Amino acid sequence: MNKLLEVTDLKKIFGGSVRAVDGVSFSLAERETLALVGESGCGKSTVSRLILRLTNPTQGTIRFEGKDITRISQGALKSIRREIQFVFQDPFSSLDPRMTAGEIVTEPLSVHGLVRNGRERRSTAERLLQAVGLSSKHVDNWPRQFSGGQRQRLGIIRAFALGPRLIVADEPVSALDVSVRSQVINILQDMQEDKGTAYLFISHDMATVRHMADRVAVMYLGKIVELAPKTSFFAGPQHPYAEALLSAVPASHPSKRRRRILLAGDPPSPISIPSGCRFHTRCPIAQDVCKSSEPPLKPVADNHLAACHFAQAWPIASRLKDVDAPTEGGRFDNVPGDLQVCR
Amino acid sequence: MLDRIFVTFSVCFLVLLAVVVVFGDFIQPHDPLLQNFAVRDQGPSSTYWLGTDDFGRDVFSRILEGSRLSMTVGLVSPLIAAIIGITMGTSAAYFGGWPERIVTRLTDMMMSFDPLLLGVLVVALLGPGILNLSIAISFALIPSFIRLSRASALAVRQEAYVDAAIAMGRPSYSTIVRHVLPNISGPLVVMTTLWIGTAIRLEATLSFIGLGAQPPAPSWGNIVRYGVQNIFGSPLPALFAGLAITLTVLSFNILGDALRDRLDPDRTVR
Amino acid sequence: MSEPILTIRDLKVAFGPEKVSMEALRGVDITVRRGECLGVVGESGSGKSLTALAAMRLLPSAARITGGSVLFKDQDMTSLSRKGLEQLRGNEMSMIFQEPMTALNPVMRVGDQIAAPLRKHKGLSAKAARARTIEQLDSVGIPDPHRRIDNFPHEMSGGMRQRVMIAMALACEPKLLIADEPTTALDVTIQAQILDLLRAKQKEMDLAIIIITHDFGVVAEIADRVNVMYGGRVVEEAGVGALFDHTLHPYSIGLLNATPTIEMEQQRRLPAIGGAVPHISEMPSGCAFHPRCPERRPTCDRLVPNLETVALDQRVACWARSTADEQVA
């Protein structure tokens, strides 16, 4: 497969001490969807901003179609920007309230000088609106006249207007109502099938990721701790954090209320990242070696990488002694290394 | 309801004023500079509607003529201040870094002077006269434009649509013009309107103390100045010129308040 | 089945002045029983949060109750005096919100915020209240409560703040807790902790919980019974098992199908509900869901369906499921 995007050892340090992204490497093939998952503060959004060159990396390289775009100037970047587009999370703040729907969806075209006059712009706008199921008579409407779902459609069609090879989608559906969310997910998938675009899909929602992604990368405190094809990942995550993340997803049916791996406390701050394995302070299976040496991201199965000293081909739950604590209400003041499995 | 009546009156008054400024030559019943010692210090009559001053000049014509200078200074200085201030403020907010720090410090320094004092200072340096007066007033108003536009632009800079514009390849100046400026225009329009009133007042004040328009050219400020010197001869010039200043400043303030209510995004959705 | 603790009957709430008012709640019926967890599910604009606020008599000033009743035990909340309300709120019924940062006072130590209802309602001395507060913090799983009691809200993480909110809400041992999207702003692993905590408290204190959410996952995790709301009404009410296995209302069916699940195998398209949630100013006539409903009938745009009992512990408001539609049509 051709590598469309290749990120190597990317780092972003804010204000000298906040290690938001702390050495991230991955690649993305053409037409592929890579989901970047993790909790708030894990650095996944910063990765998206780095790839879009909205902020400059402290270290590392970003290659697009083999070309190093890490440090090229904004001017030289302009032609690359035609190939890399984006969909943002908030359908309200990502559209300029002082532009009409038509102006919004054709903005990328006019920035790159691809529409010659107002008439052409208007007819293009109408065509684009129809492509995402909006009426062409909405072309002169203001963003505030659209619902959240409709606005996100505007955001999506704006991203596709230039026919990019890669779209960075940062939580594109998480601000939407459930009934509208599925419409937008379908549009994202239809457009991808149609245009053969690759997605870097940033999300915290495992269910949506399972539906959308080809591969999954799990981030924790600025680093990728697991990177695997979707089927292999959901069949058996290898990193304890990835497994905890999966087990924390609410049940899809009341009969499936299940044992879950409760993590102790909150993630540490990216200002003081723990020594050794950065997950050891919350890890249910941490050993002494985890405190001192940082595990590299290494293959544990076909194309399945995990950064854990104890990554094995069996689920963590079976490696743990069960702790019965139903009445304690998921307390988390236990010592690290100890674990509760609660119903 | 009462608000609307006030706003209507203000707008009518300002339209009338605009007509006077533009078509003054055709409206003035007498030459505002023509001295006629036969008719010094007269009261209102059918020939001299608002009486005459101590040189026998028609007060009505002089106030009409004076409106031109006052309004020119009143409009031009805030506009110059707005252009310079908004450019500096939005650029500082958009690009950040050391230019922003310099602009902010400079603004803080200028803000610590009273606008009137700053005006006096500039005129004292450059010498009196209408051009220098305009420069002085613009200079005094620039910091508040920098401050407001920088604060508003900083907020807009955080919006995702600005990131969106950058990510689609829009150059910086174009992003500022197309996305930042339209979204901060509301409060800036309001402020410009309010500062027009202030500029007119400043012009009057500076002319009153002799730093503005030089006689014999009339401006509202110096009509009041010489009217007060001759207040026992005839109080009418000072009275009517003062009234013109008051009404104009009041009208711009009412208009500014009305615009604020209209443009405030939180109040448009009703 | 235990006795009802909160009974909302035909509750109507409108926004705006009399003449141009918009009805946001259009006859809501909800019953919560002692010790049970009731899930109220709906999308934005369904009226689920407004129902909670109306039940606490905490409506925003633009909204007013125009009909119906809210019975807490045997007192009608809609006619209670301010003093009577203050006696109940924070004492016998309390509420937690989506964003604990805005619900907590940022310039007050969390300990003082938890102690306030204890001193007010239980008449405890400052010392006794502090001791009780430490116990309370400990019981919601805050590590090192002796130290944490003097923290300010900004010194805590989001999950910790939500625990503080829960400690505060449960300080006076209320019988009813209304939780408005308590986990929406939190990460999944923290959400799991908070849901576990709520479940434990429900058992431990025989506490009735109304959990308001847009997420069927939260419902599946914690609720005993569920009310599905749409357009300012309850459209389906069922035990949680029945709702997932024997879904009746077309809207509930649509919502459940549209929710991607973690177990779901590769499936190309998600079944979506067409259209969007209507705004309260343009609520469709008849059944509010009819413009988006795949099972629409001629009756649906004319008459509002009422909740009808169709099975033990399951009621639905839908003409397509009604036994009476022949007579009406």
Residue type at B100 in one-letter notation:
E
Q: Is the pLDDT of residue A322 over 60?
A: no
- What is the model's pLDDT at position A48? 95
**Do A277 and A295 contact (CB within 8 A), yes or no?**
yes
- ∠ CA C180-C183-C185, rounded to 5°: 100
Q: Is the pLDDT of residue C219 over 90?
A: yes
How do strand C308-311 and strand C314-316 relate by DSSP bridges?
Answer: antiparallel
How far, in Å, CA of C259 to CA of C254, rounded?
A: 9
| Chain A interface test: which of B152, B158, B161 (most A C-beta within 10 Å) | B161
Q: Is the pLDDT of residue B155 over 80?
A: yes
Q: Chain B residue closest to A53 (CA)?
A: B167
Q: Which residues of A touch C189 (CB under 8 A)?
A: 39, 244-245, 248, 262-263
Q: Is the pLDDT of residue A21 over 90?
A: yes
DSSP C103: H
Confidence of residue C39 (pLDDT cuts 50, 70, 90): very high
> In this complex, how many residue pairs, one in chain A and one in chain C, have their CB atoms less than 8 Å apart?
162
- What is the model's pLDDT at position B269? 36
Distance, first Cα to last Cα, chain C: 36
Mean pLDDT of the region C232-240 = 94
Nearest chain C Cα distance for residue A45, angstroms: 15
When the pLDDT of each residue in chain A is averaged and rounded to a whole number, the result is: 86
Kindly state the percentage of chain C with pLDDT values over 90: 52
Q: Do A182 and C244 touch (CB under 8 A)?
A: no
Q: Do A94 and B161 touch (CB under 8 A)?
A: yes
Encode pLDDT of A258-277 as tens digits: 777 778 777 888 888 999 99
Q: Is the pLDDT of residue C329 over 60?
A: no
Q: Which residues of A, range 195-214, sit inside 8 Å of C by Cβ?
A: 204, 206-208, 210-211
Confidence of residue B112 (pLDDT cuts 50, 70, 90): confident
Closest CA to A151 of A97, A195, A193, A207: A97
Q: Do C200 and A328 touch (CB under 8 A)?
A: yes
**Where do the domains of chain C lie, and which CATH numbers do they carry?**
4-92+172-261+269-277+285-328 (3.40.50.300), 103-171 (no CATH)
Q: Is the pLDDT of residue A320 over 80?
A: no
**Where do the domains of chain B lie, and which CATH numbers do they carry?**
2-268 (1.10.3720.10)
**Where do the domains of chain A lie, and which CATH numbers do they carry?**
3-213 (3.40.50.300), 219-342 (3.40.50.300)
ipTM: 0.83
Helices assigned H by DSSP within chain C = 48-55, 82-88, 100-103, 110-122, 126-139, 145-148, 158-170, 188-205, 216-222, 240-245, 250-258, 325-328
Nearest chain A Cα distance for residue B103, angstroms: 22
Tokens of B215: 């006689």
Q: Which residues of A touch B163 (CB under 8 A)?
A: 49, 52, 54, 88
- What is the model's pLDDT at position C1? 66
- What is the model's pLDDT at position C281? 82
Mean pLDDT of the region A213-237 = 93
Q: Is the pLDDT of residue A336 over 80?
A: no
Q: Which residues of C, range 105-134, sit inside 8 Å of A by Cβ?
A: none
**Of B129 and A59, the one with more pLDDT:** A59
**Do C178 and C5 contact (CB within 8 A), yes or no?**
no
Confidence of residue C267 (pLDDT cuts 50, 70, 90): low
Q: Is the pLDDT of residue C326 over 60?
A: no
Encode pLDDT of A54-84 as tens digits: 999 999 999 999 999 998 988 889 999 999 9
Mean pLDDT of the region B233-246 = 88
Strands ordered across the beta sheet of A59-64: A18-29, A3-14, A59-64, A67-68
Q: Is the pLDDT of residue A321 over 50?
A: no
> Would you call A86 an interface residue with chain B, using a CB distance cutoff of 8 Å?
yes
**Chain A partners (3+ C-beta pairs within 8 A):** B, C
* Residue with the two structure tokens 């807009």: B156
**Do B252 and B200 contact (CB within 8 A), yes or no?**
yes
A283-287, B171-175, C173-177: range with lowest mean pLDDT: A283-287
Encode pLDDT of C123-154 as tens digits: 899 999 999 999 999 999 888 899 999 999 99
DSSP notation for C172-199? T--SEEEEESTTTTS-HHHHHHHHHHHH
Q: Do C44 and A177 touch (CB under 8 A)?
A: yes
> Would you call C61 an interface residue with chain A, using a CB distance cutoff of 8 Å?
no
Strands ordered across the beta sheet of C225-230: C93-96, C176-180, C208-213, C37-41, C225-230, C233-239, C314-316, C308-311
- Crossing angle of helices B59-95 and B220-229, rounded to 10°: 130
